[in-house]
Structure 1
Amino acid sequence: MANSRSGESLIQRLVRVLHAFDSDHPELTATELADRAELSSSTAHRLAADMAEEGLLRRTPGGGFRIGLVLWELGQRSSSYQEFGQAALPFMEAVHVTQRQNTSLAILDDQEHTIIYLERLISRDVPTDLTKVAGRLPVLSTAAGLAILAFSPRSLQDRYLCEPWDPITRDSGVTESGLRRRLAQTRTDGYVHLRGVAVAGSSGTAAPVFGTGGKVLGALSIVAPVDQVNLQVQAPTLLAAARGLSRQMGFRRMIGVQAFHSEPEG
């Protein structure tokens, strides 16, 4: 693959173009694209035109560019994450209907040190919620992230706890020993509950989802205002949904809560 003068391959430049788009910038002119992707104007214009030709981007009536349908089509057709999200929806709907709180499915993106949300059901009773489909949040400052990490290999836990933390976690006042205790408690309870970490007045409760061989695949979570938390009701409902989805994904060891947390080692 041909490299630019900077040494970047064409694929790397294409990825930079795609990363320039986000929920705050769904449409960009070629000039804006060059600025956000840190490419020369001529390179951005050429790449955008070529990507539009292949359907990776689409031209807008105003002369800008948006992400094209081809990317969505390929993701829908072949992604295992899409299959996971589709399998989760009935279980999420059961939680959403009974609890009337925002319900999400998240997975870990270890390369980016974030969780990413695959599916989300919204309740009008939750005014502030940072989760959104295809949105990312730090692992250590979210209930879903901690639920996944608690059942991940010990080496992965150590890496997240020992490397520099994201600003939300760093400013929350939590300590490494405190996080280790929370992960241990999560393995005991089968779920984790956080209050007012990412958003003041908001809480998150999450339970892990497992697949074949007991590997943690992701987490189901509820976001609710702190004054509407009732863990005696919410936690069993969430655990039942997570267990049902785990069975759907091929996990068979379902003898009590302990089946969820054999000691995670690498």
Structure 2
Amino acid sequence: MANSPSGESLIQRLVRVLHAFDADHPELTASELAVRTGLSTSTAHRLAGDMAEEGLLRRTPDGRFRIGLVLWELGQRSSTYQEFGQAALPFMEAVHVTQRQNTSLAILDHDDGTIIYLERLISKDVSTDLTKVAGRLPVLSTAPGLAILAHSPRQLQERYLTSTWDRATRLSGITEVGLRRRLAQARTDGYAHLRGITVAGSSGTAAPVFGPGGRVLGAISIVAEVDQINLQIQVPVLLAATRGLSRQMGSRGKSGGWEPS
């Protein structure tokens, strides 16, 4: 693949263009793309035009660009993450209806070092929640991150515990020893609970979902205001949902179920 003068491949430049779009920037001009990607205006305009011709981007009537339907179509057609999310929805809905709290499904992105949310059900009773579908949050300062990490291979745990911590975890005052204890407790209890770390005034409770061979696939989590925490009620409902989904994912076998990379 042809490289730019900086040594960056065409694929890398295309990915930079796609990453320029987000919830706050759903539409961009070629000039705005250039600013957000660091590419020259002519390069950004040429790449955006080529991507629009292939459906990866869509050109609006006023000449701006936005993400095209082809990306959505390909994701819906072939994504095993989509299958995992669809399988989880009935179990998430059971939690959401009974608890009336924001309920999410998250997985761990090993390469990026964050968790990413696949599905989310919203409650009007919860106002302080940063989770959103396709959104990312740090592993160590989130309940689903700890729930997944607690059941991940030891070498992966060490990678997070000994690497640079995210800002929220550092400011919380939690030490490495404290985090190790939280992971051990999560393995024993079957769930992780964090209070007021990512957002003051809110808490997260998450339980892991397992697949074939007992490998952790992700976690279902509840976000609640701190004055609405009732673990004696919330945890059994959450565990019932994750155990049901784990049975379903495990029954698919290695050829039919999704497994983490």
Query: Residues of 2 paired with 1:144 and 1:108: CA distance?
Result: 9
CA contact (8 A) 1:211 1:249 kept: yes
Structure 1 contact 213–251 (Cα < 8 Å) conserved: no
Calculate the TM-score normalised by the size of structure 1.
Answer: 0.94
Residue 140 of structure 2 corresponds to residue 140 of structure 1 = yes
Question: How many angstroms apart in 1 are the aligned matches of 2:75 and 2:164?
Answer: 32
Contact map agreement 1:208 1:219 (CA 8 A) in 2: yes
Query: Is residue 207 of structure 1 aligned with residue 183 of structure 2?
Result: no
CA distance in 2, matches of 1:165, 1:211: 28
Amino acid at match of 1:64: R
After TM superposition, give the deviation of residue 251 of structure 1 in Å. Answer: 6.0
Structure 1 equivalent of residue 150 of structure 2:
150
Hey, what's the Cα distance between the residues in 1 that align with 2:223 and 2:119?
13
Matches within 5 A, 1:174-253: 174-250=174-250
Letter in 2 for 1:52: A
2:60 maps to 60
Match of 1:256 in 2: none
Q: In the aligned structure 2, how far is the partner of 1:60 from the partner of 1:128?
A: 34
Measure how far apart 1:148 and its partner are.
Answer: 0.2
Which runs of no fewer than 5 residues in structure 2 stay unpaired?
Answer: 253-261
Question: In the alignment, what sits opposite 2:107?
Answer: 107
Q: Per the alignment, in what secondary structure is the counterpart of residue 107 of structure 1?
A: strand
Provide the C-alpha distance between the structure 2 equivalents of 1:101 and 1:61, rounded to a whole number of angstroms.
40
Moved more, 54-63 or 121-130: 54-63
Task: Supply the distance in 1 between the matched residues of 2:15 and 2:65 (Cα, whole angstroms).
Answer: 15
Structure 1 window deviating more from structure 2 (205-214 vs 60-69): it is: 60-69
Q: Calculate the TM-score normalised by the size of structure 2.
A: 0.95
- Which aligned runs of 4 or more in structure 1 are off by greater than 6 angstroms? none
Q: Deviations over 1:27-76 (max 9, x none)?
A: 11110001101101110000000000011000112321111110000000
Rounded Cα–Cα distance in structure 2 between residues aligned with 1:61 and 1:117: 32
Determine whether 1:31 maps to 2:31.
yes
Q: Letter of the aligned partner of 2:22 in structure 1?
A: D
Check 1:89–1:70 CA distance in 2 against 1; reply closer, same or farther (3 A cut): same
Distance 1:72 1:128 in 2: 29
1:47 maps to which residue? Answer: 47
The 2-side partners of 1:62 and 1:211 are apart by 47
- Any idea what the Cα deviations from partners look like across 1:141-195, whole Å, max 9, x if unmatched? 0000000000000111011000010111111110000000000000000001111
Q: SS of the counterpart of 2:250?
A: coil
SS at match of 1:208: strand
Counterpart AA for 1:16: R
- For the 8 Å contact 1:118–1:133, the answer to whether it is kept is yes
| SS of corresponding position for 1:26 | coil
1:61-101, Cα deviation, whole Å (9 max, x unpaired): 23211111100000000010000000000000000000000
Match of 1:11 in 2: 11
1: CA distance, partners of 2:91 / 2:39:
44
Is structure 2 residue 93 aligned with structure 1 residue 93? Answer: yes
Q: 2 CA distance for matches of 1:149 and 1:90? A: 24
Instruction: Measure how far apart 1:110 and its partner are.
Output: 1.1
Give the secondary structure class of the aligned counterpart of 1:43.
helix
Q: CA deviation at 1:234?
A: 0.2
| Structure 2: distance between partners of 1:63 and 1:123 | 38
